[in-house]
Amino acid sequence: MAMDMSWFDELESRIPHGEVRTRFAPSPTGYMHVGNLRTALYTYLIARHAGGKFLLRIEDTDQGRLVGDAVDVIYATTRQCGLDWDEGPDVGGPVGPYIQTERRHLYKKYAELLVEKGLAYYCFCEKTESAEDSGNFEKAEDPCRSLAPERLKELMFDAEMGRRPHPVIRQRIPQGNTTFHDAVYGDITVDNADLDDQILIKSDGLPTYNFANVIDDHLMGITHVVRGAEYLSSAPKYNLLYEAFGWEIPTYVHCSSVMFNDPATGVVRKMSKRCGDPSYQDLVAQGYLSQAVVNYVSLLGWAPHGDIAEQEFFTMDELIRAFEIEGISKSPSAFDMDKLNYFNAAYLRALPPEEFAREAEPWIRRAVKNEAYDAAAIAALLQARCEKLSDIPEKVDFFDALPEYGVDLFTNKKSKTNSEVSLEMLQQVCPVLEALPDWSQDAIHGALVGLAEKLSVKNATLMWPVRIAAAGKAVTPGGAVEICRILGRDETLRRLKLGLEKLGG
């Protein structure tokens, strides 16, 4: 049966040339884990660094593994991380559609082309067809590899008549060796005897991921295929497919695994959602800023060089300028929560105060329900004092309800306070604050400092008991003055008087 080559020519004619084109090709099987995010980021940076195009392609041919809202999560996450795509399912582009199931009519024709060339074959053996497990059959023993034309015709006829399932199409792996080049791992040679005759087209006519990715990367003009190192072992088979079609082989960029430095056990292991390691969404839900996560993730397995070799903090534009494939490491990298905390704290501190207040407010309101307490004022106390937004509720819970606390908190060596001193300080402070005409930061500060001077004590000797009585906690964001200001005069005095009672006053 002769193929209509004009159909192929039309598709070929749509392929853009002369620019770097990369794609992020997630399978909508769940949340975006950190390794995925890093792959997406590097893919994006390679395209942007070269002034090329970044594509989004949804790989959904493995229908059994799809998860309901996973596509929406992919869109949202990729956008939230600042990885804007030039072509994709929602924005279209010259080589669409960009969702594999919408391209289902393409793949079989390409597989049939390979069958014609003798580089693939119909296989009627009833064995597992799952994409991951296509090769538990010794290919030398597979009778379908060398079916006589007459027998093939008979079997095909039977399948058409519904007397047996439709055949799959398998890649015919030739004898010899396959060598391919990876931009990170260098030249890799494998013995073809170790490669299985993988399924290209399943019995239902849909392609396996292993076939679809090659067809799509070619038809979409992808110049750099960036993916996780778990695909390294499949790369020779993909390479053989490119060769079988006579297509230009893209630059492969395999990214090493992301390991997880488990803070609970101290064990370093492959990062995995199944072990409960955080996904990107989990991190955002825990109060990490997207930019901080992206910045930290960029350095998991990539390093800048030259005069910026020591630089840690990068905006997206700086990453685009600095990112070179040569900087990608083949050693696995370890995701470390402490390091992420360090990045996040720095990003939180660098936010304009209004923006920090906007980010912090929902977290403050988890603990501070009393609207009379100004969230922006509380946020100002927190900006320099939290590593992640989820630290906030526990730090500000004392505003709504004064915790139970013991008198021992009034004793502090550095501030030269003990119960007696604290009692005296609070006795002095209450009438001064009661009489204060104006409940502003400056007024409260001026009054307390003035009183300390009058009493000839260190400021800390007076501030310590005020803060303990106002907050009921040894560690608080902000000092006595700020806390009293936010609590307001009445509540401050109520709490100071409770403190006095505790001290026997």
List residues binding ligand GLU (CB under 6 A).
25-27, 59, 213, 227
* In the complex, minimum distance from the CB of residue 197 to ligand GLU, in angstroms, rounded to a whole number: 20
Query: How many other CB atoms sit within 10 Å of the CB of residue 10?
Result: 9
Q: Cβ(461)–Cβ(415) under 8 Å?
A: yes
CB of 202 or CB of 227, closer to ligand GLU: 227
* In the complex, minimum distance from the CB of residue 41 to ligand GLU, in angstroms, rounded to a whole number: 13
CB of 332 or CB of 488, closer to ligand GLU: 332
* In the complex, minimum distance from the CB of residue 414 to ligand GLU, in angstroms, rounded to a whole number: 55
SS3 226: strand
Q: For residues 357-379, b (16+ Cβ closer than 10 Å) or e, as one string?
A: bebbbebbbebbeeeebebebbb
* In the complex, minimum distance from the CB of residue 213 to ligand GLU, in angstroms, rounded to a whole number: 5
| Residue of 476, 469, 432, 474 lying closest to 452 (CA atoms) | 432
For residue 487, give every residue at least 6 positions away whose Cβ sits within 8 Å of its Cβ, in sequence order, or none: 373, 399, 470, 495
* In the complex, minimum distance from the CB of residue 230 to ligand GLU, in angstroms, rounded to a whole number: 8
CB of 59 or CB of 262, closer to ligand GLU: 59
CB of 144 or CB of 253, closer to ligand GLU: 253
CB of 251 or CB of 419, closer to ligand GLU: 251
Q: Cα–chain-centroid distance for residue 262?
A: 17
* In the complex, minimum distance from the CB of residue 17 to ligand GLU, in angstroms, rounded to a whole number: 21
CB of 192 or CB of 234, closer to ligand GLU: 234
* In the complex, minimum distance from the CB of residue 59 to ligand GLU, in angstroms, rounded to a whole number: 4
How would you write 78-143 as a 3-class SS string? HHHCCCCCCEECCCECCCCCCEHHHHHHHHHHHHHHHHHHCCEEEECCCCCCCCCCCCCCCHHHCH
Q: Residue 65: phi, psi to the nearest 5?
A: -105, 5
How many CA atoms does the CB half-sphere of 102 hold within 13 Å?
10
CB of 147 or CB of 235, closer to ligand GLU: 235
The CA distances from residue 382 to 370, 375, 386, 388, 474, in Å, are 18, 10, 6, 10, 16
Active site residues: 273
d(CA 142, CA 155): 15
* In the complex, minimum distance from the CB of residue 43 to ligand GLU, in angstroms, rounded to a whole number: 8
Which sign, positive or negative, has the C-alpha torsion 187, 193, 194, 200? positive
d(CA 107, CA 215): 7
The CA distances from residue 494 to 24, 111, 191, 377, 470, in Å, are 59, 81, 81, 21, 9
CB of 27 or CB of 417, closer to ligand GLU: 27
Which is it for strands 177-182 and 258-261: parallel, antiparallel or unpaired?
unpaired
CB of 302 or CB of 405, closer to ligand GLU: 302
d(CA 80, CA 76): 6
Q: Cβ(98)–Cβ(59) under 8 Å?
A: no
* In the complex, minimum distance from the CB of residue 71 to ligand GLU, in angstroms, rounded to a whole number: 12
Which is it for strands 199-201 and 224-228: parallel, antiparallel or unpaired?
unpaired
Q: Cβ(415)–Cβ(460) under 8 Å?
A: yes
Q: Cα–chain-centroid distance for residue 78?
A: 9
